[in-house]
Structures are given as structure tokens and as C-alpha cells.
Structure 1
Amino acid sequence: MFLLRSLVKNRRLMLDLARRDAVGRYKGSVLGIFWSLLTPLLMLSVYTFVFNGIFKSRWAGGSTQTGSHAEFAVVLFAGMIVFNVFAECVNRAPGMILSNTNFVKKIIFPLEILPCVNLLSALFHASVSIAILLLAEWYVQGYVPPTAFLLPLVYAPLCLLILGVSWALSATGVYLRDIGQTIGIAVMALMFLSPIFFPVSSLPPQIRSYVYWNPLTFPIEQSRNVLVWGKTLDWSIWGLYVVISCGVAWIGFAWFQKTRRGFADVV
């Protein structure tokens, strides 16, 4: 209840900080905020070139087999957007408190909103990428499936999971600063263990079930289902994922609250 009250009470502050973070990273550049549009365009172009002109790859999955290399790039990009939201938040989490020492020393500042600010900034860039993806899909396939409206339901439990991990890492990073050096390696390993560059169906049956222990497998697969394949959510697995994400968020926030009393002394 404390967390909900804090988020509602400080919602305007969160939005202002998220906007400053999203715009601030482009401060001083010639193109400015236009980079948020240009970056996903360049990424999609690179994916299309690499898998169309070099690897000649095809994606066997979804309702039909992907018949063109441009469609492969769309499928790949859908998975990368999910991973990028997770990676951006988790990579920044260990140094979040340490990089905002001026907020730590302000007793009245709600430190618990910092991971939320980080997440909102990542979601802003993801929304731009999704818009580019939908335009590319409409150009390649000639339509966008109506199930695309279910995408917020795919991202909702993922956001809870990200917040839980971010609260835990940001609190731990204050006391154990080595975690900031190792989390990048772990996230990179997770990228190659996630079904971004391959469908789960392509794996041998004996190891296929282990892939679902990866917290990114479900949102990656379901985002493709609703954005590309025109399939609805797997509601039973979605419900389980919501429960697990709520548990991770609760544990992460509880750890953050337990350790925050010593932040000012350490930083």
C-alpha cells in the first residue's frame, strides 16, 4: 500500500524526471530527440540488411512460415524491443542510487520512484521502436493484426518484473559495487539465451522446457504472437507470469525498503 500511495502521490514528479532523462541523453547532439526515432530505424535497417543480404535467414514459426527476409527482420526486431527495455533498466539499476546522491541526502525525496523513472524512460524509447515496427510490418505484410492491441498486457507483467529486479539491484549496488561490473555480462548472456534470434520450437525437445525459465522468453514470444502472428495471449501462462512478476516486485521493493536506511551513510 505504501508503494501505491507513493507512486500515485509522486506521479507528476516521475513523469517530469522520466521526460528529463529521455531528452537529456540527447542533450548537446545535433539531432536531439530525433535520435529516438532514428535509432530504431537504423536498427531495423541493419537487421534487414544482415539477414536479407548476408545470412539469407528464414524464421519457421508463428501461424505461417516467414517467407521473406524482411519479415525475419520484423520478427527479430519485435524480440529485441522487449530485450532492450529489460537491458536498459537492469544495466542502469546498480548505479541508480550512487548516481543520484543529491536525492539520497534529501530526506523527503521518494527514492523508490527512481526505478520507475528509469522504466518510463525505457518505455518511451520502446514505444517509438514499436511504432517503427508496426509501420515496417504494414509495409512488408500489408496489414497489422488486430491482436496488436494486446501488447500492453504483454508488457505489464514484464514491467513489474523489471521494477522488482531494479529495486533489488539498485539497493544492493550501494553496498556491493562490484555488482555493477558483472550485471552487464549477465544481461549480455541472457540476450543469447533468449529466443530473440531463434524460435523456441527450433530447439531440441529435451532442452526446450528449460528456455521457459528465462524471464524474457514469455514476453518475447507473446509480443511476436500479438504483433506479427496475429495470435492472442496464452492466458494461463500469462496469469502465472503475472503472479511471479508480482512476487519479484514485492521482494525487490521489500529489500529496497529494508536497506534504504543506510544509503546516506554509504554514499
Structure 2
Amino acid sequence: MRKRSSFEIFRNVLYALVLREVQGRFGTLRMGAVFTVLEPCLHILGFAVIFGMIRGGTVGGVDYSVFLLVSLAPFLLFRNIALQMMESLEANRALFAYRQILPLDTFIARTLVECALATIVFVIISVSFEWYGMAAGINNVLTWLIILLAGIMFSFGLGCMFAVVTDFAPQIKIFIRLSFLPLYFTSSVFFPPSKLPPQAINYLLWNPFLHLIEFLRLSALPNYKVADGVSLAFLMSASMLSLFIGLALYRTRRHELLRL
């Protein structure tokens, strides 16, 4: 029998973990798959209706619903990656009895599943908006993908940190989950930060999610103007730093994470 390479083992493990995640998320019933995709769709559409009624009109030259879509959908992806990774150790603990499976494999599998689900949701809502005459396309696809990748890297690093820290201090999980509620508003998901007073923006600029959302809007919406102080260098530095710290913490405690 031919000995498999390390890459082949990793590929097979990742494939099996992704299938396991999909089955666990969707369940054995078709309604499980429908609900998994429908829930974030209703989330985004619900906020679009509520905040659209409050604000009304257009933002940055586009319908407010489209403005919210290109802001909220990526933020939900980043949030879900970090929080799902935080829970992956407990959900897959029994699998670590197999020496081929490492905690990092479960992190990557959950990230891939979240990216796939977010893509499906984004396409469904974009097509729905186009059907009703609201242009929801991406103005600069390449730039948008690069910024999105930076956001995924940032969230993956956060997820690694959350998973390692909550492994020995599980009581802080509820605090981490609740912390994403104020991030909804401090990340300027529902409004352009350029409308805020300069004093408020100076504090919000410390939030990397704000930079992510602003550059995603810039690449997706034509004629959109980012707020003063938004920096691509800060965004990329935050993404690389988050990924470095997360992987460093994982490497430091990788043996403790394998306990059954």
C-alpha cells in the first residue's frame, strides 16, 4: 500500500471534517438546510427593513438595503467564524483520539463552512435585490475579495485566541458572545461613519472591523467615500497581528488542546 503524504492526509481529514460540520449544521432533514440558509437571510433583510424605515432613501448613492447588505453580510461572516471556532474544540473533542486530526483542522473546517454559507446567503439576497430592481453587484471584485480575505484572516486569528483562552476559562464564552453586540454599532455596520462627529470617529478607528467594513463598501459601492482616518495599512497590520497571535497561542497550548 502506498504511503500517503502529509498533504493527502490533511486533505482527507479536512474533507471529512467539512462533511461532518455540514451534516451537524443541516441535520438529517431538508428543513435543517433551509433554516441554516434562511436564518441569516431573514437577519439581513429584517435589519434592512427596520433601519431602512428609520433612515429611508439612499446612502452613498445606493438604496439603503444594498448599503446594509454589503456591510452586514461580511460582518456576520467575520463574527460567525470567530464564534464557531471558539466552540469547535468542545464539539470535536472526541475526534482528537485519532492522531491524524488536530484542533487546527477543525478550525479550518469551520471557517470553510462559514465562508460557503455566507456566499450562498449573499448570492440569494443579491439576486433578490436585483429581481426588485436594486443593483447589488460588486463594483471592484478583486479589491473586495482581498479585503474580505483580510477580514477572514483577522477573524481566524480571533477564533484561535478565543478557542485557546476559553479552553481553560470556559466561563468567559458568554462575555465574548455579548461583546459582538456593541461591535454591531461601533463597526458602523448600519451607517456611514463619515456622518459622525470627528471626536467619535477618533475612538471608533481603533476598531479593525470599522476599517474592514469601510473598505468593503468602497470596493462594492460606486462613488462611496470612506471616512477620514480609515487606513488600509492599519487593517492589514491588524489582520496579520491577529493571525500571528492566534497561531502563536495555538502552538503554545496545542498539546493541552488535544486532551480528551
TM-score (norm 1): 0.81
Shift of 1:158: 1.0
Q: Specify whether residues 7 and 204 from structure 1 end up closer, same or farther in structure 2 by C-alpha distance, changes over 3 A only.
A: farther
Q: Report Cα offsets for 1:187-213 as digits up to 9, x if no partner.
A: 122112211111111110122132221
Report the Cα distance in structure 2 between the residues aligned to 1:201 and 1:20, rounded to whole angstroms: 44
Question: For residue 57 of structure 1, what is the amino acid of its counterpart?
Answer: G
Report the Cα distance in structure 2 between the residues aligned to 1:77 and 1:251, rounded to whole angstroms: 30
Q: Specify whether residues 57 and 101 from structure 1 end up closer, same or farther in structure 2 by C-alpha distance, changes over 3 A only.
A: same
Aligned residues: 253
Residue range with higher mean Cα deviation, 194-203 or 147-156: 147-156
Whether 1:258 and 2:260 are equivalent positions in the alignment is no
Question: For residue 13 of structure 2, what is the amino acid of its counterpart?
Answer: L
SS in 1 for 2:26: coil
Report the Cα distance in structure 2 between the residues aligned to 1:112 and 1:172, rounded to whole angstroms: 15
- The alignment's C-alpha RMSD in Å is 3.0
Matching residue of 1:25: 25
Shift of 1:34: 3.4
Q: Report Cα offsets for 1:66-89 as digits up to 9, x if no partner.
A: 4xxxx2112112211111112212
Could you list the runs of 5+ residues in structure 2 that have no partner in the other structure?
none
Matching residue of 1:204: 197
Q: Report Cα offsets for 1:23-59 as digits up to 9, x if no partner.
A: 431214443433454345434543443345x425245
Mapping 1:155-194, distance limit 5 Å:
155-194=148-187
Q: Report Cα offsets for 1:208-250 as digits up to 9, x if no partner.
A: 132221121122122222223366999x933442233122211
Mapping 1:1-267, distance limit 5 Å:
10-52=10-52, 54-55=53-54, 57-60=56-59, 62=60, 64=61, 66=62, 71-138=63-130, 139-142=132-135, 144-229=137-222, 237-265=231-259, 267=260
Kept in 1: contact 2:85–2:111 (CA 8 A):
no
Q: Specify whether residues 112 and 229 from structure 1 end up closer, same or farther in structure 2 by C-alpha distance, changes over 3 A only.
A: same
Question: For residue 124 of structure 2, what is the amino acid of its counterpart?
Answer: I
Residue range with higher mean Cα deviation, 182-191 or 42-51: 42-51
Report the Cα distance in structure 2 between the residues aligned to 1:98 and 1:240, rounded to whole angstroms: 33
Q: Report Cα offsets for 1:132-190 as digits up to 9, x if no partner.
A: 34324534345735413432111111111111111111111111111212111111221
Kept in 2: contact 1:160–1:246 (CA 8 A):
yes
Residue range with higher mean Cα deviation, 110-119 or 6-15: 6-15
Report the Cα distance in structure 1 between the residues aligned to 2:8 and 2:233, rounded to whole angstroms: 25
Q: Specify whether residues 12 and 130 from structure 1 end up closer, same or farther in structure 2 by C-alpha distance, changes over 3 A only.
A: farther
Report the Cα distance in structure 2 between the residues aligned to 1:204 and 1:13, rounded to whole angstroms: 50
Q: Specify whether residues 38 and 256 from structure 1 end up closer, same or farther in structure 2 by C-alpha distance, changes over 3 A only.
A: same
Q: Specify whether residues 256 and 45 from structure 1 end up closer, same or farther in structure 2 by C-alpha distance, changes over 3 A only.
A: closer
Kept in 2: contact 1:164–1:248 (CA 8 A):
yes
Report the Cα distance in structure 1 between the residues aligned to 2:16 and 2:225, rounded to whole angstroms: 35
% identical equivalent positions: 19
Question: For residue 14 of structure 1, what is the amino acid of its counterpart?
Answer: L
Kept in 1: contact 2:71–2:216 (CA 8 A):
yes
Kept in 2: contact 1:59–1:198 (CA 8 A):
no
TM-score (norm 2): 0.83
Could you list the runs of 5+ residues in structure 1 that have no partner in the other structure?
none
